Amino acid sequence: MTGMLTIAGLGPGDEALVTPEVSAALADATDIVGYAPYIARVAARDGLILHASDNRQELQRAVEAMRLAAQGRRVVVVSSGDPGVFAMASAVFEALEASPQWQGLAIRVLPGVTAMLAAAARAGAPLGHDFCAINLSDNLKPWPVIERRLRLAAEADFAIALYNPRSASRPEGFARALDVLKQAGCGDRIAIFAHAVTTAEERIDALPLQDARPEMADMRTLVIVCNSTTRRCGRWIYAPRRVS
């Protein structure tokens, strides 16, 4: 048996947004490795071993996946959304770099629909002009770096997609992020709160950033702070293509 390590994105939640390529990889796998809630999205079947792990164990998870693939197994490491966006693909390559014995492994990365694209589609086209994405988790980067990026993104008038806005272990960070953006002059910009997009619990709210409250976000929310030219057209929110 020839081992293969596939790093795949399951999309934002809806089964219809899992790509056919990812479905085929899951159907062909011997082992699935990932954070427990994502593993729960993969249908169990005979012969398929599910290796569920805790949230912060990305590196151990990556090493385990490589070890299994080196034994000849067909391993799929799953992330939600896209595996390259604040997810497992970087962790696997970080582990690979530190493990010369595995550098000949067959590896592939299969893209998925990332949360900001699913959220933007629900709202209309808020990412239709230049935009950036910032992870608000400070587990792996110091808060001053986050704050600086927020300020510069605001100054450059990017639409800003905020991942991991708020968690029980970091209740203060999002309130600080909102303050930084308000101080940077974004108070009038439209803020979109997209909760659990494409799932049964989906909820989309949009309001001026200055009226946003920190409790509006949780770990299942993707926030888009629109650029200054973004406007409403009926129920839709869109970024015009032209900026003078």
Interface positions with ligand SAH (CB under 6 A)? 12-13, 79-82, 85-87, 114-115, 119, 163-165, 194, 196-199, 219-222
CB closer to ligand SAH, 30 vs 198 = 198
Write the CB contacts of 163 (distance below 8 Å, at least 6 apart in sequence): 85, 86, 115, 116, 133, 134, 135, 136, 137, 222
Least distance (Å) from ligand SAH to the CB of residue 70? Answer: 25
User: What's the closest the beta carbon of residue 162 comes to ligand SAH, in angstroms?
Assistant: 7
Question: Residue with the closest Cβ to ligand SAH?
Answer: 81
Considering the complex, what minimum distance in angstroms separates the CB of residue 237 from ligand SAH? 16
Give the side-chain half-sphere CA count within 13 A for 100: 0
Q: Smaller CB distance to ligand SAH: residue 172 or 188?
A: 172
Rounded to an integer, what distance in angstroms lies between the CA atom of residue 135 and that of residue 10? 19
Q: Which is nearer to ligand SAH, 29 or 85 (CB)?
A: 85
Instruction: Select 49 or 140, whichever has its Cβ closest to ligand SAH.
Output: 140
Q: How far apart, in whole angstroms, are the C-alpha atoms of residue 53 and residue 36?
A: 6
| Cα–Cα distance, 26 to 120 (Å, whole number) | 27
CB of residue 204 to ligand SAH, shortest distance in Å? 10
Backbone angles phi, psi at 16, to 5 degrees: -65, -15
